[in-house]
Amino acid sequence: MTLPPAGKNSAEHVAAGAERRWATVSLVILLLLVVMAAIAGAHQAIMPQAKVETVDPRSLHISGEFTEGNLGSALQPDGSVMVRAIGQQYSFTPQCILVPKDTPVTIRATSADVVHGFLIENSNVNLMLVPGYISTASTRFSRTANLTMPCHEFCGVGHEGMWGRIQVIDKAAFLKLAANQRRLSCVAQ
Ligand code: CUA
């Protein structure tokens, strides 16, 4: 077989053009992925999280920010709410978390033993609780509700029974409770 002479329509010319087009497409996809990873990293939206914070799971209950008196919801000086929680086989502490609606909520949680899941229905909160590491999430609840919070990582024989609850109440009611207590937990309804 004889190739046509080199020129504008030669086989080499057509092949080189096609290679350039496909190389450009791959480069654009690559750059898009890099930008997406950078944005997700900056917003702490990747799992495991970009900002690694460690904690000793053996001494959670003895010292540091996850001691029992520090768990639950607390009003912050800037008006936001900080929630601290622990997952362990086969429950969450606290078992029910109280938060106000229309308020920025930051969750900081970890595990005392094995990997657990931390998911709040109808929200953007979907974390893994990994022993030795602190998982964080930022969210906001737009209506009052009782939400379920199942563990969604298989963590042992009692996994299916590991459920928590989130109680979202009016902001005014929350602020009233927060005036008397530093750490809040769910209220009877
Ligand atoms: Cu904890 Cu599944």
Q: Could you report the per-residue pLDDT of 127-138, keeping only the tens digit for each?
A: 999 999 999 999
Residue 151 φ/ψ, nearest 5 degrees: -75, 125
Instruction: Give residues (CB < 6 A) around ligand 1.
Output: 87, 90, 116-117, 151, 153-155, 159, 162
Looking at the CA of residue 155, tell me the nearest atom of ligand 1. 2
Taking residues 17-38, what's their average pLDDT? 95
Residue type, 35: V
Query: Are 112 and 93 a contacting pair, CB within 8 Å?
Result: no
- Provide the pLDDT for residue 42: 81
Q: Is 135 helix (H, G, I), strand (E, B) or coil?
A: strand
Residue recorded with tokens 């009052």: 144
CATH code 1.10.10.10 for 53-180:
no
Residue recorded with tokens 């969210």: 139
| Residue bearing the CA closest to ligand 1, atom 1 | 116
The answer to whether residue 18 scores a pLDDT higher than 60 is yes
| Alpha carbon distance 155, 99 (integer Å) | 26
Q: Is 14 or 2 the better-scoring residue by pLDDT?
A: 14
The answer to whether residue 8 scores a pLDDT higher than 80 is no
Q: Which tokens is 166 given?
A: 């989130």
| Alpha carbon distance 11, 17 (integer Å) | 10
Q: Which helix (H) or strand (E) holds 141?
A: none
The answer to whether residue 125 scores a pLDDT higher than 60 is yes
Q: Which tokens is 108 given?
A: 């900081």
Q: Which tokens is 64 given?
A: 């540091």
Looking at the CA of residue 90, tell me the nearest atom of ligand 1. 1
* pLDDT tens-digit map of 44-95: 776 666 677 888 888 888 888 999 888 999 999 999 999 999 999 999 999 9
Ligand 1 center–CA 161 separation, angstroms: 8
Q: Is 145 helix (H, G, I), strand (E, B) or coil?
A: strand
Say how many Å lie between the first and final Cα of the chain, rounded. 86
Ligand 1 center–CA 147 separation, angstroms: 17
| Alpha carbon distance 102, 87 (integer Å) | 26
* pLDDT tens-digit map of 127-184: 999 999 999 999 999 999 999 999 999 999 999 999 999 999 999 999 998 888 888 8
DSSP structural state of residue 3: P
Q: Which residue pairs, CB below 8 angstroms and at least 24 apart, start in 58-65?
A: 60/86, 60/110, 60/112, 61/112, 65/108
Ligand 1 center–CA 52 separation, angstroms: 22
pLDDT band per the 50, 70, 90 thresholds, residue 189: low
The answer to whether residue 25 scores a pLDDT higher than 80 is yes
Name every residue whose Cβ is closer than 8 Å to that of residue 128 and which is 6 or more positions away in sequence.
47, 48, 115, 116, 117, 118, 135, 153
Ligand 1 center–CA 70 separation, angstroms: 22
